[in-house]
Amino acid sequence: MNTNYRESISPAQRLCICLRYLSTGDSYRSIAFSYRVGFCPVARIVKSVCEAIWQCMVSTYMPVPGAEDWRKIAGDYEKLADFPNCLGAIDGKHVVIQAPPSTGSQYFNYKGAFSIVLLAVVDARYRFRVVDVGAYGRSSDGGTLSSSAFGTALRLGNLDLPPDRPLPEADHLGPQPHVFIGDEAFLLRRNLLRPYPGQNLGGERRIFNFWLSHARRIVECAFGILANQWRLYRRVLGVSPEVAESAVKATCILHNYMRWDGEGEDGPRTPTVPSQGAVQSIPRVGSNNASREAVAVRETFNCYFSSLPGRVTWQDGI
């Protein structure tokens, strides 16, 4: 509020200060000089505005998909990435921060820096459909997924996924589940495919790995777009993990806001899976053993991409 000593900082200026921080990653002191406000107000403004962006926009621009939404995502992947029955690509990104006090090696990652993890499920249009932010940097992508609300719902079958359906022009292979795709860091499950391990693979397995990587590149591109538009990802964030988590969530929502094509204009929707903030404790990850059903699903997709319905003329030269 206005006083005899100063005028209040307007909502428009508060938003400008927050967007300036997200788009440049400059220090609070540099932004304070630029806008002629105090250092402490800038710190409070960035945190409060990021939280407001997330709370006000998450139900519209990042609602947890229902069965019909999953079908649309699968249709986009089939049309744009030539991978049928795919519900999204999963990957993690480390957001570098200064070492938090009294945390030991919890945030110390394999790259030799301190970080929190952004785990995301991305659709074929480079939009974040599910995110989990705040896991310790020392945890692997697979461990982060297992500890997240999304990973728990996937494991328990509570994501309202579409029913199994045959792959295009491959009814002889039978109905197949809708799947997410990830790299070698994730556990092979019935609804989560990962590439075949190893380098000296046979022709069919090498072709399957190519098509899976071809579709999974979308999540890598989405992270690249995010880091180029919001330059705080190019800096070491000199803030607490809680503030860094709020900033990352705000950039993911704004990323979707700029790429939404009208699907969010019907009004807010209530998420069906609880969102998860920072992971307080990462349980020990067990051995990376897949079930027989998961192995059979991957083998079926392998047969599809090597058979006439799923092959292309030039793939034998991969």
Q: What are the domain boundaries of the chain?
A: 62-317
pLDDT of residue 316: 66
Asked if pLDDT for residue 199 goes beyond 80, the answer is: no
Average pLDDT over residues 246-256: 97
Contact 87, 54 (CB under 8 A): no
Asked if pLDDT for residue 293 goes beyond 80, the answer is: yes
pTM here is 0.87
For the ranges 139-143, 174-178, 229-233, 287-291, which has the lowest average pLDDT?
Answer: 287-291
The two structure tokens encoding residue 250: 């705000």
How wide is the angle at C-alpha 189 spanned by C-alphas 186 and 191, nearest 5°?
105
Average pLDDT over residues 132-143: 92
40, 96, 103, 234, 286 from 64: Cα distances, Å: 35, 27, 32, 29, 28
The band of 86, judged by pLDDT with boundaries at 50, 70 and 90, is very high
* DSSP state letter for 137: T
Average pLDDT, the chain: 87
Asked if pLDDT for residue 116 goes beyond 70, the answer is: yes
Query: Residue 140 — φ and ψ, nearest 5°?
Result: -80, 165
pLDDT of residue 318: 62
The band of 310, judged by pLDDT with boundaries at 50, 70 and 90, is confident
